[in-house]
Amino acid sequence: MTLILDDQAVIAQLLKHIENGTTDEADSMWREPVSNYTSNKRLIKERESVLKRWPVVFCPSVALPEPGSYLAREAAGAPLLATRDKEGVVRVFKNACRHRGMQVAENSGRKNTFVCPYHGWTYRLDGELIQIPHEAGFPDVDKSCNGLVAVEAREQDGLIYVVQDPTPNCWDALNEIPKLINDDQFVLNESEYIVDANWKIFAESSLEGYHIKATHRETFYPYGYDNINLVELFGRNGRITFPFRRIEKLATIPQDEWRIDGRVTQVSNLFPNVLVATLSHFTNVVVLEPITEGKTLARTWTLSNRGADDTPEAKAEIQRDQDFNALGLREDQDMVESIQRGLASDANSHLTFGKYEKLISHLHRNLQEVLSTESIDEKP
């Protein structure tokens, strides 16, 4: 099933927009209440009813490149541990020892077992508890029933997804996600940073081209367009394509010679909190983890688009692209942090998204729909 347009169709649509001075539009405007960005109660509901119940990207597959690879991080406020076992199968666990709850791993690396640093309880890559020091002191503990607690996980098309609190048919959502990561990509670097803004405000900055001229006047705008974009929706997800001015050269050559590489940036929003940004030489997989209603951790994996090409020339091209992209991202971060501060002014009861901000409206509409149909079980 075709979920997104192929490169030739994307180019054709963009050239038509450029010729006519048009862009993709939503059917209507959207108004999002300011309280949805500032309320801790709303954030808790998003975590419990969406981020824990929906298949959410935990990391790209290449972050666990070989058996024994592991990655420990928090997702939706919960510490999780992902591993690739000896058979190459990805497994995800709650990162808590079954003795006293100590986290058994930090950061990432490669191990054959996980040893709790508090008392030495030891677990295999498949989560099985295999050793309790001075085991005679725990006569009622059955090791076979006290392995690390598993979290549902699946690996698909280069991405690893988790669902912490699964609901019936929740995994069907993966049928709506096209392949965005190529098999020959590898991790160039990993990073994380704090953004002083709600996670949705930060996501919004990557999902429209209406701000390009005003915000990125000396960075992105000289090479691109203001408010000319292609927007595709697939399920609750979507992709926006930002064309570079050099794409116009394709209008003068046969269509079978069209190549999209180096002529666009594409950003896919994988519902709800993941951005996959494909640029000329690299791809960023960004997971937005809300810390508070006004603070977000942006965890990023940068993957090479050049396959096994690790020559000095290729590395230099990638680095130049990364440095340039970082300037634009800094400009976006300044804008979204200013928006978060502005919400405290009480000037607006809601934020207004026009017809040129189609993908943002799509995100909010789907969040509202999921939140209205999911109920949070009362917990003691």
Are residues 231 and 357 located together in one domain of the fold?
yes
Whether residue 345 is contained in a domain is answered as yes
pLDDT in tens, 326-353: 999 999 999 999 999 999 999 999 999 9
Whether residue 378 is contained in a domain is answered as no
Are 196 and 340 a contacting pair, CB within 8 Å? yes
Residue 10 sits at φ, ψ, to 5 deg, of -60, -45
Q: List all residues 6 or more positions away from 181 whose beta carbon is below 8 Å from its beta carbon.
A: 60, 61, 62, 157, 158, 159, 276, 283, 285, 303
List, run by run, the mean pLDDT of 10-residue segments along the chain (380 residues): 89 98 97 97 97 98 97 97 97 98 97 98 98 97 97 98 96 96 92 97 97 96 97 97 97 95 96 96 96 97 81 85 93 97 96 98 97 60
Domain boundary (164, 189, 204) is at 164
Domain span at 65 = 56-164
Are residues 145 and 204 located together in one domain of the fold?
no
**CA distance linking residue 334 with residue 37, whole number of Å:** 17
User: Which residue shows structure tokens 């997971």?
Assistant: 287
Are residues 270 and 285 located together in one domain of the fold?
yes
Whether residue 225 is contained in a domain is answered as yes
pTM: 0.94
- 319: domain CATH number is 3.90.380.10
- Judged by DSSP in three states, 18 sits in helix
What pLDDT shows up at residue 233? Answer: 97
Are residues 351 and 230 located together in one domain of the fold?
yes
Identify the burial level of 175 via C-beta atoms within 10 angstroms of its C-beta, where 0-12 means exposed, 13-18 middle and 19 or more buried: exposed
- 136: domain CATH number is 2.102.10.10
Are residues 76 and 47 located together in one domain of the fold?
no
What pLDDT shows up at residue 314? Answer: 81
Whether residue 379 is contained in a domain is answered as no
Tally of domains in the chain: 2
Whether residue 171 is contained in a domain is answered as no
CA within 13 Å, CB half, 199? 29
Are residues 156 and 286 located together in one domain of the fold?
no
Domain boundary (139, 164, 189) is at 164
Are residues 146 and 197 located together in one domain of the fold?
no
Identify the burial level of 172 via C-beta atoms within 10 angstroms of its C-beta, where 0-12 means exposed, 13-18 middle and 19 or more buried: exposed
Whether residue 261 is contained in a domain is answered as yes
Whether residue 2 is contained in a domain is answered as no
Are residues 37 and 85 located together in one domain of the fold?
no
Are residues 195 and 220 located together in one domain of the fold?
yes
What pLDDT shows up at residue 373? Answer: 83
DSSP conformational letter for 380: -
pLDDT in tens, 180-238: 999 999 999 999 999 999 999 999 999 999 999 999 999 999 999 999 999 999 999 99
For the chain, state the CA radius of gyration: 22
Are residues 295 and 147 located together in one domain of the fold?
no
Domain boundary (134, 164, 194) is at 164
Are residues 31 and 124 located together in one domain of the fold?
no
Q: Residue 300's closest CA among 80, 52, 73, 59?
A: 59
Whether residue 222 is contained in a domain is answered as yes
Are residues 269 and 289 located together in one domain of the fold?
yes
